[in-house]
Structure 1
Amino acid sequence: MRNFRRETISFRMFLAISFSLSVSLMVLKNFEHSVIVIRAIWSMLRSFILTQSISFFSLAPLHVGQGIRLMNRSSFSFS
């Protein structure tokens, strides 16, 4: 566990890129669901930005439990 926050951000970035690629392929095939997909991508990007700002502006190191609680708090919402 050398740098838990940096690994979490890179993993979330990988998830965001793979999700957006799969969603863009789905949108190309079916234009009816594009509004729902755009909202899902926007909420995912919002939570990713929130996670980045938390890791950049926190000065104290996180324990594993605190990092998991932060990840659960910024979970994706498709509203």
Structure 2
Amino acid sequence: MSWDDVDNKLKKGVDAGFVSCSESYEKAYIKKTIQEAFGKKFSSDAIDRAIESCCDSVKGNRPRDKFLACMKEKLGS
């Protein structure tokens, strides 16, 4: 899988165009999707730190595409 696969999977949900950092289930879903896509390439802690960092740096409604771009940058892929 790739980042495009992650993006496609996240598009299927409600409010698929945005990421809600206030919803723990949504952050857990993003983490699970990244883990499925990349296996052990990124540690659980690294993914958690990237999610929290992107929640802090991507402001407003957090468009999914901007959030995923931030995740790619933070995880160095």
Larger radius of gyration: 1
- Tell me the TM-score normalized by structure 1: 0.39
- Tell me the TM-score normalized by structure 2: 0.39
Specify which structure has the higher proportion of helix. Answer: 1
Relative contact order, CA 8 A, sep 6+: which one is greater? 1
